[in-house]
Amino acid sequence: MTKQQGQIDDNPQSKLIRIPLSEALGIKKGVNAIIGSGGKSSLLKSLSLELSQKGSVLLTTSTHILPFSHCENICFSDENVSISDENISILNKNALISNENVSSLNKNILTLKEKILLPGKDIHSEEEALENSKTLLQSKVLSLWDKSQNPILCLGTLETTGKLSPFPLPFSAIEQMADFVLVEADGSKRLPGKAHGRNEPEIPKESQRTVLVFGASALHKPISEVIHRVEIFQNFFTPSLTPNTLLTKELLLQAFRKENLGDCLFVNQLDCLTKKEAAELLLFLQKGLGKMVCGGSLKEGSAHPEVLLL
């Protein structure tokens, strides 16, 4: 087994090397879920840019995401969505939205309401209607997506906030539409750390690989300032932590062990540490978790970020 595949090495000497991010994280064809906090959207962007050199990439969510600015976004709405001027500007700033079958403002929304097949002469059950409507929606999206010109596509259902919620197709159908499907499967309120509630994260059952993300900027700061759902995090420990407790790598490791989420861990925001500190942190976490741990800085969302491997 190579170090890239997760071998634990006691040698603390590490260096920044350029390696495909998808290779370091073990991303596979099919559905892959990104969870955690501190850089999920940046990781999705970097991975999609890299993987688009190998095939088609579909970005979507099982929770909520903002449209992406580096690719086309196809949005679904099952009814007309009234959007404020403020949210129109958000959409225009963040995304290129496909136009289809709607007028004026709603030209930003792909709506297939009048195209959905219903029970009638040719369809004899609700199940059959549903299956036909899914097939039609899948075909319509594929007809709008020119993979040769735009190998990356984001799918979602448009909300009045300008965010995208899950697209109305099962992941079993979505995974048939692209070589790689990358799913943002968690929410974090833009904080670098997160503790998960009972129904979180929302990982599709089709996911072949789950990457947990953590932002290193959370370290040595009060947990109340850097952890989403801090009350859950506090209760991981006995006695319960106070809100002003500083987050150490030891506490972080205990929390990761308690949750036991992800096939591998990506520590983002390593630019806030020295290279020596970053190497020591990754080695500590990799030895403590017994799984692949790597890190880097994705603030640029580049296609080939430097990845720190041990």
pLDDT at res. 16: 56
Distance CA 310, CA 20 (A): 15
- As to burial, measured by CB atoms within 10 angstroms (0-12 exposed, 13-18 middle, 19+ buried), residue 215 is buried
Report residue 39 as tokens: 């850089």
Positions in the chain whose pLDDT score sits under 70: 1-18, 78-126, 128-130, 300-310
pLDDT at res. 151: 97
DSSP 309: E
DSSP 121: S
3-class DSSP assignment, residue 243: coil
Burial track 129-162 (b if 16+ CB lie within 10 A, e otherwise): beeebbeebeebbeeebebeeebbbbbbbbeeeb
Report residue 256 as tokens: 């990761």
Phi/psi at 113 (5° precision): -55, -50
Distance CA 216, CA 221 (A): 10
Report residue 10 as tokens: 């006691």
pLDDT at res. 91: 45
Q: What Rg do the C-alpha atoms of the chain give, in angstroms?
A: 21
Residue 193 near residue 248, CB atoms below 8 Å: no
Report residue 119 as tokens: 């029970």
pLDDT at res. 292: 92
pLDDT at res. 76: 79
Write the CB contacts of 310 (distance below 8 Å, at least 6 apart in sequence).
Answer: 3, 8, 9, 11, 14, 279, 282, 283, 286, 293, 294
What letter represents residue 82's amino acid? Answer: S
pLDDT at res. 143: 86
Report residue 114 as tokens: 């009048």
Kindly tell me the sign of the dihedral angle through the C-alpha atoms of 260, 262, 263, 265. negative
- As to burial, measured by CB atoms within 10 angstroms (0-12 exposed, 13-18 middle, 19+ buried), residue 17 is exposed
What percent of the chain has a predicted confidence (pLDDT) above 70? 74
pLDDT at res. 140: 83
DSSP 26: T
pLDDT at res. 20: 87
pLDDT at res. 90: 45
Residue 302 near residue 49, CB atoms below 8 Å: yes
Dihedral, 87, 91, 94, 99 alpha carbons, nearest 10: 180
Report residue 194 as tokens: 């997160």
Measured CA to CA in angstroms, residue 186 lies from 152, 166, 202 at distances of 21, 12, 6
